[in-house]
Amino acid sequence: MTSAAPLNGVKVVELGTMYAAPTAGRMLRDFGADVIKVEDPTSGDYARQWIPQKDGLSLGFSRLNAGKRSLGVDLRTQQGRELVHKLIDDADVLVESFRPGRLEDWGLGPDELHETNPGLVIARVSGFGQTGPNRLLPGFGTVAETASGFANVNGWPDSPPTSPPFGFADSIAGLSAAMGVSMALFNRSRTGLGEVVDVALYEPLMFIIGDMFLKYTALGEVQQRIGNSTGAASPRGIYEAADGKFLSIAASNQAIATRLFAAMGRAKTIEDSRYATNAARLEHNDEVQAMVIEWCGSKPRAEILSILEEFEVVSAAVNDAADVVVDPHFRERTLVEITGNEILRNTLMPGPVLHMAGYAGPTYDGVPAVGEQTREVLTTRLGMDAGELDRLADAGIITA
């Protein structure tokens, strides 16, 4: 990390497992924070067991936790909780993802923590949030994706509701938590006080699909699954080219729709009253889609994309992982390597989700083993000596 990192010097304690809270921790670490990840001293974060793995190392865990420092402490013990409380007293931020009430039961709730560290920012990520009738219900990303309404509108009319094959809700919640932490740190610079950032897994996702709730409450219409369309603009979708490859086209405003018809050799189509406006095109969307499908099916994908680029029509190839990792743009701007771990040599993953002038970005220097930095952290942060650490390790309170 360089001194230009915007969160340089910020100390974060992560009491989060699996996906959402570790995503928040990674976002903060990406921009300079020192993130200490507290794990069970024997089993560690359950995400270490995720598939796929390479030589026993979970690739998903590696993506979210590379560059963090792992502290192995048993929070089920009073001594372990006391150690973590002292560590949090020396921190700027706590990120946690326990079910509401667990930290309070352990004496690590916001009231107790703010007594000794009033400037502490506490990000709490849970299934349904810290308030409301459902606050105590367990919730993973799949539950958030279904309860929010997302799964019900995702897919095709003749297919069942569909959740994505990745941690969608968790990732958005983690990003939102990191944004909340940043706002709270900014506010602390003015007030000197920390605060609680309460993130429910479903809420950021519900915000993204929010138009469907306005549609129902304003018009009485329940949005249904419509495949690759949005129901808001036409033409838009994913289309198959003559060579069997797919591409996306988004003619989501009048100017682009006009240029698309011209690109297809149908410049006069925009003058037809059935296709002259977005509302008219949506009313005749099946006919519009048939035109685009026919045109795309007549040429190989590369030729179609070249024509669309010439006419400044918003479009792109439907990439798979193999396409992305050889694309010069993504290689230059987005993809990064995890260094310091032979298992992951030449492995690529997405880097920070945004770029800031004056900050070159982080390095991802290794994936910590469970409790790998326990002695280092407790020595440097809490001033504990070797004898104390040995006694705690012998008792199973910390990683040996």
Using DSSP's 3-state secondary structure scheme, residue 26 falls into helix
Q: How far is CA 193 from CA 35, 89, 114, 121, in A?
A: 21, 14, 9, 8
- Please check the confidence at residue 378 and state whether its pLDDT lies above 60: yes
Q: Give the mean model confidence (pLDDT) for residues 64-85.
A: 97
Reported as a pLDDT band with limits 50, 70 and 90, residue 3 is low
Q: Which residue ranges form the domains of the chain, and what is each CATH number?
A: 11-207+329-394 (3.40.50.10540), 236-240+246-317 (3.30.1540.10)
pLDDT at position 201, please? 97
Q: Give the mean model confidence (pLDDT) for residues 204-214.
A: 96
pLDDT at position 228, please? 85
Q: What is the pLDDT of residues 311-351, one digit of tens each?
A: 999 999 999 999 999 999 999 999 999 998 899 988 999 99
Label the pairing between strands 57-58 and 53-54: antiparallel
The region of weakest confidence among 188-192, 325-329, 362-366 is 362-366
Q: Give the mean model confidence (pLDDT) for residues 294-305.
A: 98
- Give phi and psi for 364, each to the nearest 5: -115, 85
Question: What is the chain's mean pLDDT, rounded?
Answer: 95
pLDDT at position 1, please? 45
pLDDT at position 101, please? 95
Identify the active-site residue in 30, 170, 323, 327.
170
Catalytic residue list contains 170: yes
- CA dist., res. 256 & res. 206, Å (int): 29
Which residue from 63, 82, 56, 163 is spatially nearest to 364, judged by alpha carbons?
63
Question: CB within 8 A of 131, min separation 6: which ones?
Answer: 198
- CA dist., res. 343 & res. 118, Å (int): 42
In the chain, % of residues over pLDDT 90: 93
